[in-house]
């Protein structure tokens, strides 16, 4: 049984040093995901549906969501979608529930989302006050996939959607052939936001449990998943540090919405 490593980090400098040390020690690429509350689990939105239980019903639900989105998005799409994977990434971008879980190749992007999505408000002195601890997850995608694919011939790597190891995970596919565990995959960079945020994905299989439980219960390689916790009292200083280091709303969201959000935050209108 793997043990989930959890670190409490209090400031920006220690965070950067921890990530650099971890990269040097593990000697491989890492992915990151920020969470506004440290209690949030690594579960995709489709598998959070309250009234669906078994995987067959989840796949039917995914098919229904995909069909409805395809039918009603026609007036708003400007390019053809070549396969179901492209539709799935497109749905994820706009917040339609899928089996995808967003990650990023950038630790600072994940830190931005961990801090800015944590519930907060401006107090009487115009200082940010946070009500919950935040978290940032670190994943070794190669090691994770080596266990999830579970083939002697598979060396461990991030999968592309044309990889045969992903055939059983294809949307509207035969779920009886799908494996249990999530897989780390590269997706279509179908928006400026995904490019700016260096977005990557994990697609879930039959096992509906969060990734951290899958990791602990199924003897995944030790150290292929880490959890970093940022206590709520440290979040204001972290927010100030990432802003001073150029990680801002307009960088993460390179459009007018991101610019407007950044201006609101800069002039203390809250967010």
For 43, other C-beta atoms within 10 Å of its C-beta total 17
Residue 240: the pLDDT is: 93
Query: Above pLDDT 70, what percent of the chain?
Result: 97
Confidence check: pLDDT of 102 > 80: yes
Higher pLDDT, 41 or 189: 41
Cα 271 to Cα 203: distance, rounded to the nearest angstrom: 30
pLDDT grade for 172, boundaries at 50, 70 and 90: confident
Cα 104 to Cα 217: distance, rounded to the nearest angstrom: 25
Residue 153: the pLDDT is: 77
Confidence check: pLDDT of 105 > 90: yes
Mean pLDDT over 121-144 rounds to: 91
Length of the chain: 271
Per the CB < 8 A criterion, the answer to whether 237 and 11 are in contact is: yes
The answer to whether the predicted template modeling score (pTM) of the entire model surpasses 0.85 is: yes
Name the E strands within 10-167: 31-35, 100-104, 120-122, 128-130, 134-139
């Amino acid at each position: 049984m793997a043990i989930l490593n959890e670190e409490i980090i209090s400031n920006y400098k220690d965070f950067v040093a921890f990530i650099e040390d971890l990269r040097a020690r593990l000697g491989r690429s890492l992915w990151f995901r920020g969470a506004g509350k440290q209690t949030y689990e690594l579960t995709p939105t489709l598998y959070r549906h309250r009234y669906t239980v078994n995987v067959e019903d989840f796949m039917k639900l995914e098919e229904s969501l995909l069909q409805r989105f395809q039918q009603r998005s026609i007036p708003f799409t400007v390019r053809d979608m070549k396969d179901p994977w492209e539709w799935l990434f497109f749905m994820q971008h706009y917040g339609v529930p899928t089996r995808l879980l967003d990650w990023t190749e950038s630790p600072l992007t994940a830190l931005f989302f961990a801090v800015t999505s944590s519930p907060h408000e401006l107090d009487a002195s115009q200082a940010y006050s946070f009500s919950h601890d935040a978290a940032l997850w670190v994943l070794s995608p190669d090691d994770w996939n080596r266990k999830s694919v579970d083939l002697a011939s598979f060396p461990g790597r991030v999968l592309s959607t044309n990889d045969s190891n992903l055939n059983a995970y294809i949307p509207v596919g035969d779920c009886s052939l799908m494996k249990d565990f999530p897989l780390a995959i590269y997706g279509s960079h179908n928006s400026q936001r995904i490019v700016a945020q260096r977005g990557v994905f994990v697609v879930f299989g039959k096992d509906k449990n969060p990734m951290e439980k899958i990791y602990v219960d199924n003897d995944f390689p030790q150290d292929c998943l880490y959890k970093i916790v940022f206590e709520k009292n440290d979040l204001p200083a972290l927010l100030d540090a990432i802003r001073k280091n150029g990680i801002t709303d307009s960088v993460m969201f390179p459009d007018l919405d991101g610019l407007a959000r950044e201006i609101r935050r800069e002039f203390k209108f809250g967010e």
